[in-house]
Amino acid sequence: MTGVRRLLFSFALAAGLRAAGPDTWIPARWEGGPLEVARRARDKAPPDPAARETIARWYDPSTLALLDGMPVNCLVLTSSGGGDAKTEEQQQPLVKEYTRKAHERRLAVLGSVYPGSGPDTVASSAADAGLDGLVLEGFAGAPGFAAQLTKELRSRNSAAVVIPVESSLRPAAKTALPVLAVEGASPGTGKLADGVTASASGGLWVDSNLWLVRSVRLSAGTRPVWLTHRVSAGTPAPYLRSIADAAAMGARWMIALDDDLRRRLRSGDVQAAALWRSMGDLVTFFGQHAEWPALAPFGAVGIVVDTAAPNPAGSEEFQNLVARRRIVYRLIDRSRLDAPSLDGLRAVLAFDLAPPAEAERKLLRDFAAQGGLVLGGPAWGDPPKDQSYAVRSVGEGEIAVYKEDNPQSVAQDLNDLLTTPDFGVSFFNAPSVLPCAGTDTAGDRLVIQLVNYADAPAESLTVWATRRWKAAHLYLPGSAPADLPLKRSGGRTEIVIPRLPVYAALVLEQ
């Protein structure tokens, strides 16, 4: 079964069959019980009395009815750690009985584990409750605990999987465990990055996980990727945005409901129920289009990533800031850097080659000589002293050598070093929207996924695409696909998206 078919199959399972394994799990945090109350009491802003009551009573079997008709098929319960012995003892029977009831509904059940208990104690409780897996929270940088816990589970004849939540992508990508879980940012907008909001180069400061998932997938293979973060309460947009921000690149957000929303859901609030259903509808929409994130990444800018480097922070920041400039790009694993990996690129960011091997240097000089642009740091030799970078001609192209590795400057300079057509696709009047794009093997179909990170809809978003495309179809969740008019000029096609609330996919065809 292909990766795409597995993803589609997972959504079919959610409708009636108990999810068989991590490939099919669609997770939601389902925290509750006295252990969760005790854990949350230590927060800087502990829950109010109404929220505490909701948390304490969350494992009443009636809350399982909230999952009727929803695609969520994997619950993450508060399981172990962080409480005194009496509270832990009170928690375990609740988890065990709730797990039994959830299994009757053919749901997978995981337990969240916090520091405080040893692997033998955690494994014993998990095996007794019949949990399908354990999510390790707050153990980042401590891989030994996961290995010990797995060993203890197997000694108790438990097949439960262990899923550590990592604080950065590199440890997560290197793990051999079946799910890669990474702490992500809560997606949204912040301060102005510059004063221009109507151009392809300007816009809002946007926090997004698109770049993070793309980078994790460079090493993840076919394993599922989960993002964990909390959203601010108040409006539906952060929930829908979090789902889209993960799913556009083929990941899943571990749905986390805020305390007030849970209280209102439990009390039967109509608006809360409508938001919950809309979240389910959006998850289902992405399941119906699981082939989009599986397409070959599209972009005329390539970023070389050294996945074996000891410090990935610099590379991560290049990816993050280039993405914020709405530049679609492709990642190239340094170990796979060769001539075919450069096909179709206009520019290559080679800062992770520090220093470049002679074969790498020759390969990229040849790329530049044929009309390409290479950007690199001081390791590329003779950096400028009185300016941020110096451009040297090489054949028909150029190499830009920077005085220092400055991701923010490089991301901004790309718009000066390249022309708009060089990017393949460009976006205007979209300060709060970030794209990711994929294409089929023949290059006759281009799918541009767009996530709006502001609470207000984006209006009159304009897309410029190199090539004369023949058809444009707009997919908005909850609506039938719509054909959009095209305006062709020279070798460029212009499309205007009238309104983009949270997410849209623009499909261009030849």
Residues 282 and 333 in one domain: no
Percent of the chain with pLDDT over 90: 79
**Nearest CA to 436 among 210, 181, 232?**
210
Residues 255 and 159 in one domain: yes
**Nearest CA to 434 among 182, 216, 231, 203?**
203
CATH code (residue 350):
3.40.50.880
Residues 142 and 281 in one domain: yes
- 200 and 207 in contact (C-beta within 8 Å)? no
**HEC per residue, 450-467:** EEECCCCCEEEEEEEEEC
Residue 268 has pLDDT above 90, yes or no: yes
Q: Cα–Cα distance between 287 and 236 in angstroms, integer?
A: 20
Residue 196 has pLDDT above 60, yes or no: no
Q: What is the pTM of this model?
A: 0.92
Overall average pLDDT of the 142-163 stretch: 93
Q: Beta-strand (E) ranges in 313-394?
A: 329-333, 347-349, 373-376, 389-394
Q: What is the pLDDT at residue 203?
A: 52
Residue 221 has pLDDT above 60, yes or no: yes
214 belongs to a structural domain: no
Q: Provide the pLDDT confidence category of residue 171 given band limits of 50, 70 and 90.
A: low
**Nearest CA to 29 among 63, 69, 68?**
63
Q: What is the pLDDT at residue 198?
A: 38
The 10s digit of each residue's pLDDT in 273-287 is 999 999 999 999 999
Residues 261 and 331 in one domain: no
Looking at per-residue pLDDT, the higher value among 276 and 14 belongs to: 276
Residues 126 and 265 in one domain: yes
Residues 70 and 143 in one domain: yes
- Among 377, 399, 420, the domain boundary falls at 420
Q: What are phi and psi of 504, to 5 degrees?
A: -155, 155
Tokens 């390539």 — which residue?
302
Its sign, for the CA torsion 277, 278, 283, 286, is: positive
- Among 420, 439, 468, the domain boundary falls at 420
Looking at per-residue pLDDT, the higher value among 412 and 4 belongs to: 412
> What are the structure tokens assigned to 237, written together?
């947009």
Domain count, the chain: 3
Number of Cβ atoms within 10 Å of the Cβ of 6: 15
Overall average pLDDT of the 155-184 stretch: 84
Q: What are phi and psi of 331, to 5 degrees?
A: -95, 145
Q: What is the pLDDT at residue 200?
A: 45
Tokens 């104690």 — which residue?
121
**Structural domain that includes position 497:** 425-509
Range with the poorest average pLDDT among 38-42, 115-119, 218-222, 262-266: 218-222
Report the chain's C-alpha Rg in angstroms: 24
Classified as helix, coil or strand, 77 is: strand
- Give the pairing type, strands 301-305 and 329-333: parallel
- Among 420, 452, 476, the domain boundary falls at 420
Overall average pLDDT of the 428-457 stretch: 95
175 belongs to a structural domain: no
194 belongs to a structural domain: no
106 belongs to a structural domain: yes
Residues 55 and 123 in one domain: yes
Q: Beta-strand (E) ranges in 194-251?
A: 204-207, 225-228
**Nearest CA to 265 among 52, 57, 66?**
66
Q: Provide the pLDDT confidence category of residue 163 given band limits of 50, 70 and 90.
A: very high
Overall average pLDDT of the 341-354 stretch: 96
Q: What is the pLDDT at residue 4?
A: 43
Q: Distance between the two ends of the chain, CA-based, in angstroms?
A: 29
Q: What is the pLDDT at residue 170?
A: 61
Q: Cα–Cα distance between 426 and 438 in angstroms, integer?
A: 14
- 309 and 352 in contact (C-beta within 8 Å)? yes
Classified as helix, coil or strand, 426 is: strand
Tokens 């709060």 — which residue?
432
Q: What is the pLDDT at residue 219?
A: 78
CATH code (residue 436):
2.60.40.1180
Residues 32 and 146 in one domain: yes
**Nearest CA to 422 among 347, 365, 495?**
347
Residue 382 has pLDDT above 70, yes or no: yes
Q: Provide the pLDDT confidence category of residue 190 given band limits of 50, 70 and 90.
A: confident
Residue 216 has pLDDT above 60, yes or no: yes
The 10s digit of each residue's pLDDT in 43-98 is 877 889 999 999 999 999 999 999 999 999 999 999 998 778 899 999 999 999 99
